[in-house]
Amino acid sequence: MTNDASDSTWSAPEEEIMEATYTALLKHGYADLSIARIGDELDRSKASIYHYYDSKDDLLVALLEFTVDEFEASLATDSHQNPAEDLKRLIATLLSPQPVADDYEYQAVLVGFRSQAITDTRIRAQFTQAHDRLANTIQELIERGIAEGVFDEVNPSQVTEYILATITGVMSGRVTTDREDAVAAAHTSLLHYIDSELTQDGC
């Protein structure tokens, strides 16, 4: 997991703590994560964690925000490109059958947090914000495609929710099951949907 310090809103010590928490979470899972185990991954005392975060719950909420920031940074689109190709690249990044290690780990951490969103309102708010951001990115591409005559006159909101629901479902299945072929099948299905249902003939 890497972070571009030039664009970061996190201090260097906070980034170190986030990296340590991220590593410990992947090693031990949410239920068995502790401040002591996070401290084992740090080159500083456990007490330094409490200087920035009052509890493990506060730290994990911060980690979710940090992970979402990192994840979204990998999804940047180029407004000068064909919106259909931008949308396909976005889907390919999220549903690559063989994702790079960082992308897979981002998704694993996010899925690991998801069950906590049922009862933890702060984590639920973070997921709501993350879904809204991704939905906005998808909808902006669809609206741009319609405006440029690349996509048919569809309902951007409905299409966005369909694509988003497919992506989030497949991401969850990727890291919680061994159905490896399902990712490739969903990826192919969404690309076919873009070409056959969204894109105007000849575009």
Confidence of residue 3 (pLDDT cuts 50, 70, 90): very low
At position 156, the amino acid (one-letter code) is P
74-198 folds as Tetracycline Repressor; domain 2 (1.10.357)
Give me the architecture of the 5-60 domain, per CATH. Orthogonal Bundle (1.10)
- The identity of residue 175, as a single letter, is V
Question: pLDDT confidence of 6, banded at 50, 70, 90?
Answer: very low
pLDDT for residue 80: 65
Helix (H) or strand (E) holding 37: helix 35-40
pLDDT score, position 203: 56
> How many Cβ atoms from other residues are within 10 Å of residue 193's Cβ?
16
pLDDT for 131-177, tens place per residue? 998 999 999 999 999 999 999 999 999 999 999 999 999 989 988 99
Kindly calculate the radius of gyration of the chain based on its CA atoms and give it in whole angstroms: 19
Considering the chain, what is the average pLDDT of its residues?
86
* pLDDT over 70, % of the chain: 92
Whether 134 contacts 185, CB under 8 Å: no
* % of the chain beyond a pLDDT of 90: 38
Q: How far is CA 158 from CA 106, 153, 171, in A?
A: 27, 12, 20
* CA distance linking residue 147 with residue 145, whole number of Å: 5
What tens digit of pLDDT does each residue of 35-78 get?
889 989 987 777 889 889 998 889 988 988 888 887 777 766 56
Tell me which residue of 119, 12, 23, 120 sits closest to 63, measured CA to CA.
23
Per-residue pLDDT, 85: 92
CA-CA distance, 103 to 42, in Å (whole number)?
Answer: 23
Domain boundaries, the chain: 5-60, 74-198
- Rounded Cα gap, residues 119 and 124, in angstroms: 8
